[in-house]
Amino acid sequence: MAQGCLKCLKYTMCAANFLCFVCGVAVLGFGVYMMVSFNMSALTPALAKFNFANMLLISGIIITCVSFLGFLGALKENRCLLLTFFLLLFFLMLVELTIACLLLVYEREIADLVTKDLNEGLQKAKKEVNPANSTLMSEWDVVQEKLGCCGVINVTDWGDKVPRSCCLSACDVAKPPYKQKGCLGMMQHMFEENFLTTGISVIVLCVVEVLGMCFAMTLFCHISRSGLGYKL
């Protein structure tokens, strides 16, 4: 009976790590997509230092490597791989909780940093001699079209140099209708909408990691008692 339960645990761990591997590949692919199609380094230079696309790439690589390690350790019943998997999961969980706490503590400072970056970026974009070939201007166009906003607070931020991406419809009329909401407010709204989802995702991820550590340690102890040692 105990042997059957442990076999079930072994294959459950293999299946879970395979799903984690697939998720890691998805995160890796999303990181590549962000790097190629959504570069905002000129728009928010302070936040660009963190380079979210690279962070996604690194996260995807770590997830795929750790999940493959757990899959192989469970499949081969290898103590070294299972212990390494356990320690890596524990370290990752500590890092995730630390980052979550830092984001909560420094939420206001991050918001002020984004506001300052957006205002400085908008002022630089207004001074561009050739807006059509400006990287900064093209990034503003992407943000304003994606979020349905105009300027930092509202359209008046652009003064008499309102870009076409601020228009609700045609820009060729005498008084074109502009988007009334600012990009800062839209970004804050988008963050608030996704805050609960992000929090729940972090909690679920931590629970999955704790279960993974419990499974790995249970299998590790069984292999130790069975005298299987470092079987490859």
| pLDDT at residue 165, as a whole number | 81
| Total Cβ atoms within 10 A of residue 178 | 16
Q: Is residue 58 part of a domain?
A: yes
Q: Is residue 127 part of a domain?
A: no
Q: Is residue 149 part of a domain?
A: no
Confidence of residue 223 (pLDDT cuts 50, 70, 90): confident
Summarize the confidence of residues 1-15 as an average pLDDT: 74
Least confident window among 38-52, 109-123, 167-181, 187-201: 38-52
Q: Is residue 112 part of a domain?
A: no
Q: Is residue 51 part of a domain?
A: yes
**pTM for this predicted structure:** 0.69
Q: Is residue 16 part of a domain?
A: yes
Q: Is residue 90 part of a domain?
A: yes
Summarize the confidence of residues 13-26 as an average pLDDT: 82
Structure tokens at 116: 């300052």
Q: Which residues span the domain enclosing 18? A: 2-104+215-226
d(CA 82, CA 70): 6
Q: Is residue 14 part of a domain?
A: yes
The structural domain count of the chain equals 1
Structure tokens at 156: 């008046």
